[in-house]
Amino acid sequence: MEISDSLSFFLTLPLFGMVLSLLIPRGVQRIYAIFASLLFLALTVYEASGILFAGSSELAARLSVEHQLLWLPQLGSRLSLKLDSVSAWFVVLNALTAVIAFSTKGAWYRKNPKLFTSLGFFLLFGLNAAFLSLDLVVFYLAYESVFIPMIFMVGVWGERQKATAVFRFFLMSFLGSILMLVSLFFLLSKQVKSGAGVSSHLSDLVALSSGLEGAEAKLVFLGFFLAFAIKVPLVPFHSWLKDVYNLAPFPATIWMSAILSKLGVYGVIRFVEPLFPQVLGFFQGGLLFLAAVSVIYAALLAYRANHPKELLAYSSISHLGFVMLGVFTLKAQGISSAILLSVGHTLVSALLFFLLSKVEEKKEGLDLLSVHGLSRRYPVLFVALFVAVLASVSLPGTLNFAGEFLVLLNAYPVSAFCTILAGFGAVLGAAYMLKFYQQMGFGTPSSGTSEQVTRGDDLGGFELVLVFVLILFVFYFGFQTSVFLKGN
């Protein structure tokens, strides 16, 4: 398959979509957004499929393309985009998440829909730029710019008390990213001093960072690591997450849990690993422990959570703990399984939040806590939720099972203790998800809503197709794990 040597459409099309959304009338914003994001997804898959499904690693390596454009010559920054077997997955997931998020219905399509759609496309742009760029300054710009649409989405369409949540989210993320920026500047200033030309390209900085030693290397590493640890988040840095997930409108929650969290995962894989291999090796034990603690602690928090959105938020942290466990094995196999699990987590958490948004849509104004008896009233939606819950607790045959299994398998030789610790998290995961499922699905339907079930209330049409396709992917890739592991 021929791949064009220009990847710039990944960036230009979302921007074009953003501008277009300002010109489209309010009434058709949702249709436009879904249609445009589907189109973009199709293009992305078309472009990435050659890399994703290439039979061998050599072919994949040959197909991975880098596209360069000098952007800021004085600062040594280039628009250096690279699509390879790592970034291709995240780019596809990004486009898919946009489709799911735009497909939700709610206040955001009534109150200022133009702003909402354009923010969504800006998010798509920023994330794509972050996932594709090999230049660290450009990566930072993209990484940081993702906050802007997020802040507004939560702030403008979120529920009450949102301001505090937004501030905490923004300040913690900003603190992390600005320390990363300082680390990056530190590397660049070393470069200036050494007399070499300034270049913030990853390969040039790798050469430089290997020259760092001792405390200096560790501090610079910490700057990068903190940013990504807050973004994922790993456990001591998770305090911003609950309120934001809770109060954000559903599309924003979907975006955050499905793809923004992957930005942290991706950052560690793409930048921290090549930049600081020795320091990572030095800290490996602690990092693995941190990941395992994230799994357990977040699972316990999820079990205690009363609100379904809160529960899913914590479950998200728990699953990402598994992902990070795989990443911190620092082995190619472990990282491949972490990517595999990331894809699974994106699909399943987006699906769960999407289904939850459907529940909320039907019972507007009601607290989700009081939702009972979904099985009787919305059978189709409920079956879909059932499957999603099973995938989330890693039923064998799903992508998540394959991912968690492979992660644990790869982590065991590195640290048996952390692996066993994290393994308990999987058990806890089953406990809280079944609690969630039982609470929402059974019992008498909540009062205040009519017992009458009309056909239109349940999942149907486009939404049903979307949910069905997502579930299909979860199972298809669950059996086709070789797609992820071909390189090894």
Partner 1 sequence: MMADLEMLRPWIFLASGILLTLLISVIRTESKRPAQISALLTVLGTAIFSFKSPPSEAVFLFSGALEVSSLSLFALGGMSVLAAMFILGTGHYLTREKIHISDYYHLLLILVLGGSVLVASRNLLLSFIALEVMSLPAYTLVGFRRNDSRSNEAALKYFILGGAMGAVFLLGSSFIFGATGTLDLSAVFTESKGGTSLLLQLGHLLVVLAFLFKVAAAPLHFWKPDVYEGAPTPVTGIMATIITSASFLGLIRLIHMIDFSSPGTVGYLELMKSALRVAAIASLVVGSSVMITQRSLKRMLAYSSITHTGYLLLGVLGAFDEKVGITSVLVYLLGYCVMSTGAFVLLTLAKAPADTGTELIDLTGLIKRSPFLTFLWTVFFFSMAGMPFTVGFFTKYSVFMASLGGGETVLVILAAICTVVGAYAYLRAIALMTMRDAAPAAGDWEFSPGSQIVAIVAAGFVLFLGIIPNAMIQYLKGIPLIH
Q: Which residues bind partner 1 (CB under 8 A)?
A: 72-75, 137, 140-142, 144-145, 147-148, 151-152, 155-156, 158, 162-163, 166-167, 170-171, 174-175, 178-179, 181-182, 185-186, 188-189, 192-193
CB of residue 183 to partner 1, shortest distance in Å: 10
Instruction: Give the residue with the Cβ less far from partner 1, 158 or 344.
Output: 158
Please return the burial class of 214, using the count of CB atoms within 10 Å of its CB with bins 0-12, 13-18 and 19+: exposed
CB of residue 145 to partner 1, shortest distance in Å: 5
Kindly calculate the radius of gyration of the chain based on its CA atoms and give it in whole angstroms: 22
In 3-state terms, what secondary structure has residue 94? helix
Distances (CA, A) of 450 to 167, 202, 377, 394, 442: 39, 59, 10, 35, 16
H/E element, 82? strand 77-83
Q: Which residue has 């992820």 as its token pair?
A: 484
CB of residue 264 to partner 1, shortest distance in Å: 18
CB of residue 219 to partner 1, shortest distance in Å: 9
CB of residue 73 to partner 1, shortest distance in Å: 6
CB of residue 76 to partner 1, shortest distance in Å: 11
Instruction: Give the residue with the Cβ less far from partner 1, 41 or 72.
Output: 72
Instruction: Give the residue with the Cβ less far from partner 1, 163 or 465.
Output: 163
Q: How many CB atoms lie within 10 A of CB 238?
A: 22
Distances (CA, A) of 23 to 18, 28, 113, 157, 370: 9, 11, 12, 21, 40
290/279 Cα distance (integer angstroms):
16
CB of residue 89 to partner 1, shortest distance in Å: 25
CB of residue 33 to partner 1, shortest distance in Å: 20
Instruction: Give the residue with the Cβ less far from partner 1, 176 or 445.
Output: 176
Q: Are 483 and 477 in contact (CB under 8 A)?
A: yes
Instruction: Give the residue with the Cβ less far from partner 1, 279 or 351.
Output: 279
DSSP 375-424: HHH-HHHHHHHHHHHHHHTT-TTSHHHHHHHHHHHHHTTT-HHHHHHHHH
Q: How many CB atoms lie within 10 A of CB 40?
A: 24
CB of residue 337 to partner 1, shortest distance in Å: 33
308/310 Cα distance (integer angstroms):
5
Instruction: Give the residue with the Cβ less far from partner 1, 193 or 455.
Output: 193
Instruction: Give the residue with the Cβ less far from partner 1, 151 or 411.
Output: 151
Query: Left, alpha or beta for 373 (phi > 0: left; psi -120 to 50: alpha)?
Result: left
> β-strands 65-72, 77-83: how paired?
antiparallel
Q: Are 3 and 47 in contact (CB under 8 A)?
A: yes
265/322 Cα distance (integer angstroms):
11
Instruction: Give the residue with the Cβ less far from partner 1, 57 or 164.
Output: 164
- In degrees, to the nearest 5, what angle opens at C-alpha 246 toward C-alphas 240 and 247? 95
CB of residue 469 to partner 1, shortest distance in Å: 34
Instruction: Give the residue with the Cβ less far from partner 1, 182 or 196.
Output: 182
